[in-house]
Structure 1
Amino acid sequence: MDEATERLADVRATIATAAARAKRRADDICLIAVSKTHAAAAIRPLIAAGQRHFGENRVQEAAAKWPELRAEAAGLTLHLIGQLQSNKAEDAVQLFDAIHSVDRPSLVAALAKACDKLGKRPQLFVQVNVGDEGQKGGCAVADLPALLAEARAAGLEIDGLMAIPPADVEPAPYFALLDELAERHSLPLRSMGMSGDYATAVMLGATHVRVGTALFGARG
């Protein structure tokens, strides 16, 4: 078994164990391999091992490497997990199958315009700033109802919520908060959990986990 296959098997096994503990089906959790900053040569082994969902932080970086990768392998799904500038909305809608960082009215308007123009609608998540951190993207918890209403008024369907808990603290309360917010607003999807805490996220309701280091290895 090569290194990529082994890492992928380990992460999938961890997800399966966490799902079983929560009385959930592992097949209901989408594993997103966070391929940001990794070259195509590092991504191909994971594709060969069977991974099909990948996450990128920047539109420009994704546009440089994914058209070629998609031409080489069928069934790949690309997720934008980083912050999105409103002036890049059309490029993002064209390139990505899911956008996890909808967080403000101006971006809602730009995405609605892009979706109408292109006749394409990626899966959309509102990013919530669950830790109320000034330096982090995401809408405030108190602003979530208004942002969801703006999205509906613009003709956008929001599929779920995304969050990145504060660093170096226990993430479980923040995952539980995002799960409760999604339930309150009847949103089926929860994008939460990264390499250090994805098992906890799965046990607390994650439908999408974003895993980089555990799949690609630590950066040198």
Structure 2
Amino acid sequence: MTDEATAIAPSPLATIRARMAQAAALAGRNVDDIALVAVSKTRNAEEIQPLIDQGQRIFGENRVQEAQGKWPALVAAQPEIRLHLVGQLQSNKAEDAVRLFDAIHSLDRQSLLTALARAMDRTGRRVPLFVQVNIGEEAQKGGCAIADVPALLAGARDHDLPIAGLMCVPPAAIEPAPFFALLRKIATDHGLPGLSMGMSDDFETAVMLGATHVRIGSALFGARA
């Protein structure tokens, strides 16, 4: 590849945004209604900064402690950044998460709901929450059972917690479309607008099936070491 070709090649971020726009157009949707969450877990500030420089403003992290170590300085330099917690959350980290993140995608049990309600009351912040659903009923994955979604949503209403929508991670190596469609149906049945679904390998399918947030890591940053 020539130096000239390298110079004009689109960045991974530009490529992902173009693919999102194409998928949205095929589905008759406006790509501006779909948030790209750049999942920066395990990535350091030097790896993240180029995306910020290209205009990316929403980032996802899996662990509270890791995010606490690298994001305050980045956010101070670019206050428009919004942080989303996309990994599992321990109840004892609820207040730290509420203080740092602008959305949490992993509400999956009543004990965490109670901890988040207390944390929001103490901090005065009302952070939008996505209920994580174990859409493939996989024992090794987080997320509440499909049958438990109504009770969890009722508990959130009782605590006046802001529910943005539902989140899922479909089973690996299986066509994801039926799982995305099922999550959309559950959300529609409960009047929820948000759908956090789709990652590097399947985000176009998710966009065509109604995703409002796609969580993309390796396609933006490359494979982790």
Distance of 1:195 and 1:168 partners within structure 2: 13
Distance of 1:52 and 1:117 partners within structure 2: 27
Secondary structure class of the residue paired with 1:60: helix
> Is the contact between residue 53 and residue 77 of structure 1 (CA under 8 Å) also seen in structure 2?
yes
Distance of 1:219 and 1:58 partners within structure 2: 16
Gaps of 5+ in 1: none
Distance of 1:159 and 1:122 partners within structure 2: 9
> Is the contact between residue 54 and residue 79 of structure 1 (CA under 8 Å) also seen in structure 2?
yes
Secondary structure class of the residue paired with 1:122: coil
> TM-score, normalization: structure 2?
0.95
Distance of 2:207 and 2:92 partners within structure 1: 34
Gaps of 5+ in 2: 1-5
Query: Which residue, 16, 19, 33 being the options, matches 2:21?
Result: 16
The corresponding residue for 2:114 is 109
Distance of 1:112 and 1:29 partners within structure 2: 27
Once the two structures are superposed, residues 46-74 of structure 1 have per-residue CA deviations (whole angstroms, 9 ceiling, x without a partner) of 00000000000000000000001111113
Mapped pair 1:66 → 2:79: no
Distance change in 2, residues 1:109/1:4 (3 Å)? farther
**How many residue pairs end up in the alignment?**
220
**Aligned-pair CA distance for 1:103:** 0.3
Distance change in 2, residues 1:167/1:115 (3 Å)? same
The corresponding residue for 1:184 is 189
CA RMSD of aligned residues (A): 1.4
> Is the contact between residue 108 and residue 150 of structure 1 (CA under 8 Å) also seen in structure 2?
yes
**Aligned-pair CA distance for 1:155:** 1.6
> Is the contact between residue 127 and residue 162 of structure 2 (CA under 8 Å) also seen in structure 1?
no
Distance of 1:5 and 1:79 partners within structure 2: 26
The corresponding residue for 1:75 is 80
The corresponding residue for 2:179 is 174
Which one-letter code corresponds to 1:76 in the other structure?
Answer: I
Structure exhibiting the larger radius of gyration computed from Cα positions: 2
**Aligned-pair CA distance for 1:121:** 1.1
**Aligned-pair CA distance for 1:157:** 2.1
Distance of 2:191 and 2:9 partners within structure 1: 37
Query: Which residue, 40, 54, 68 being the options, matches 1:35?
Result: 40
Once the two structures are superposed, residues 93-132 of structure 1 have per-residue CA deviations (whole angstroms, 9 ceiling, x without a partner) of 0000000000000000000000011000111100000000
Distance of 1:51 and 1:79 partners within structure 2: 13
Distance of 1:26 and 1:19 partners within structure 2: 5
Secondary structure class of the residue paired with 2:163: coil
> Is the contact between residue 123 and residue 159 of structure 1 (CA under 8 Å) also seen in structure 2?
yes
Which one-letter code corresponds to 1:49 in the other structure?
Answer: Q
> TM-score, normalization: structure 1?
0.97
Distance of 1:144 and 1:49 partners within structure 2: 38
Which one-letter code corresponds to 1:213 in the other structure?
Answer: S
Distance of 1:47 and 1:149 partners within structure 2: 38
Distance change in 2, residues 1:2/1:127 (3 Å)? farther
Which one-letter code corresponds to 2:107 in the other structure?
Answer: V
